[in-house]
């Protein structure tokens, strides 16, 4: 279990996150939702120690994540940022993806196993390993970075809006790949999503943030209720059934003035 306990973060005297607590089990997908500026990306970076939390703790199967060395942490946690650029020129798709295997070797020299696993993931995504990463479109870079976190084979995967630059078909491919990874490899997945219907359909649990505070956590149906959507997003919503799946439909701006500030 990855457990976040009372996590807080301040920057230049401003409180960005306060008292965030939730957990992720192996084999589970947990989505983080909330409006712009809610603290979703900051939360992921604090868990990863990219930002240093000012209060609280993170444990991974009982082990203090903040006391782990970089190599140990990268074996337990993989990370996909919103968008990636690599300053080194002419890095190929293969170069970027195989970097996900780096934590498995003290003196970085890819093994035959590293190469085989990288090629297998690239083949599964039908990617050309020889293309220059920095010349790819935003959508193509997203897919390459997703391939890199998969080949890393960490116990827990953190992804920041992995579907944001993808067309509808690719969005479903990514989410279905995450479901397969969670189920087949027993990986715990924490994912920031703006698309609420992707969160509703593919999440086991949802964490809803607003202004750096935890508003609600639990199953999608209870967290993404009409009342919470009204309070946090300022919109009226309805749930509809489509081919056996529940979807949220936005009706319009909230009319009762109860939106959180």
pTM: 0.90
Q: Is residue 83 scored above 80 in pLDDT? A: no
Sheet order of strands, 188-192 included: 77-80, 156-160, 188-192, 29-33, 205-210, 213-218
Query: Do 35 and 136 lie in a common domain?
Result: yes
Report the candidate in 37, 56, 35, 38 with the shortest Cα–Cα distance to residue 47.
Answer: 56
pLDDT (0 to 100) of residue 62: 94
Contact partners, residue 51, CB within 8 Å, separation at least 6: 9, 11, 42, 45
Please report which confidence band the pLDDT of residue 256 belongs to, taking 50, 70 and 90 as the band edges. low
Using only C-alpha atoms, what is the Rg of the chain? 19
Query: Do 26 and 144 lie in a common domain?
Result: yes
State the Cα torsion 161-226-215-59 to the nearest 10°: -50
Query: Do 110 and 180 lie in a common domain?
Result: yes
Tell me how far apart the alpha carbons of residues 168 and 150 are, in angstroms, rounded to a whole number. Answer: 21
Query: Do 152 and 196 lie in a common domain?
Result: yes
Q: What is the mean pLDDT of the chain?
A: 90
Residue numbers of the domain that contains 238: 229-261
Helix (H) or strand (E) holding 64: strand 63-64
- Mean pLDDT across 2-31: 96
Tell me how far apart the alpha carbons of residues 169 and 127 are, in angstroms, rounded to a whole number. Answer: 16
Query: Do 166 and 246 lie in a common domain?
Result: no
Please report which confidence band the pLDDT of residue 174 belongs to, taking 50, 70 and 90 as the band edges. confident
pLDDT (0 to 100) of residue 246: 78
Tell me how far apart the alpha carbons of residues 131 and 91 are, in angstroms, rounded to a whole number. Answer: 8
Tell me how far apart the alpha carbons of residues 46 and 200 are, in angstroms, rounded to a whole number. Answer: 25
- For the chain, the domain total comes to 2
Token readout for 3 is 């457990």
- Mean pLDDT across 74-93: 81
Query: Do 156 and 207 lie in a common domain?
Result: yes
What percentage of the chain exceeds 70 in pLDDT? 94
What percentage of the chain exceeds 90 in pLDDT? 63
Query: Do 239 and 110 lie in a common domain?
Result: no
Q: Is residue 107 scored above 80 in pLDDT? A: no
State the Cα torsion 10-16-21-25 to the nearest 10°: -110
Q: Are 133 and 91 in contact (CB under 8 A)?
A: yes
Query: Do 99 and 146 lie in a common domain?
Result: yes
Query: Do 233 and 211 lie in a common domain?
Result: no
Query: Do 183 and 127 lie in a common domain?
Result: yes
Q: Which CATH number characterizes residue 219's domain? A: 3.40.50.300
What confidence tens digit (pLDDT) does each residue in 131-149 have? Answer: 999 888 888 888 898 899 9
- Mean pLDDT across 198-212: 96
DSSP state of 106: S
Query: Do 172 and 241 lie in a common domain?
Result: no
Q: Is residue 257 scored above 60 in pLDDT? A: no
What confidence tens digit (pLDDT) does each residue in 21-42 have? Answer: 999 999 999 999 999 999 999 9
pLDDT (0 to 100) of residue 157: 96
Tell me how far apart the alpha carbons of residues 111 and 259 are, in angstroms, rounded to a whole number. Answer: 54
Query: Do 159 and 235 lie in a common domain?
Result: no
Q: Is residue 74 scored above 70 in pLDDT? A: yes
- Mean pLDDT across 3-29: 96
What confidence tens digit (pLDDT) does each residue in 222-251 have? Answer: 999 999 999 999 998 888 887 777 778 888
At residue 84's C-alpha, the angle toward residues 88 and 4, to 5°, is 125
């Amino acid at each position: 279990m990855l457990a976040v306990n009372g996590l807080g973060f301040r920057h230049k005297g401003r409180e960005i996150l306060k008292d965030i607590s939730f957990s992720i089990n192996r084999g589970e997908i947990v989505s983080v939702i909330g409006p712009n500026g809610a603290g979703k990306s900051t939360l992921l970076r604090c868990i990863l120690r990219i930002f240093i939390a000012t209060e609280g703790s993170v444990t991974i199967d009982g082990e203090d994540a903040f006391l782990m060395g970089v190599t140990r942490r990268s074996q337990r946690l993989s990370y996909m940022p919103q968008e990636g650029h690599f300053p080194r020129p002419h890095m190929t798709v293969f170069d970027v993806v195989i970097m996900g295997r780096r934590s498995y070797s003290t003196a970085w020299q890819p093994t035959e196993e590293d190469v085989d696993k990288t090629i297998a993931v690239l083949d599964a995504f039908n990617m050309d390993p020889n293309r220059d990463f920095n010349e790819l479109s935003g959508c193509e870079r997203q897919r390459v970075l997703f391939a890199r976190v998969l080949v890393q084979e960490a116990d827990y995967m953190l992804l920041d809006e992995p579907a944001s630059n993808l067309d509808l078909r690719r969005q479903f491919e990514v989410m279905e790949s995450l479901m397969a990874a969670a189920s087949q490899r027993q990986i715990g997945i924490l994912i920031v999503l703006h698309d609420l219907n992707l969160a509703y359909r593919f999440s086991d649990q949802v964490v809803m943030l607003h202004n750096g505070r935890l508003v609600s956590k639990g199953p999608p149906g209870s967290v993404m209720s009409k009342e919470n959507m009204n309070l946090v997003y300022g919109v009226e919503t309805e749930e509809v059934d489509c081919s056996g799946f529940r979807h949220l439909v936005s009706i319009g701006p909230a009319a009762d003035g109860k939106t959180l500030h």
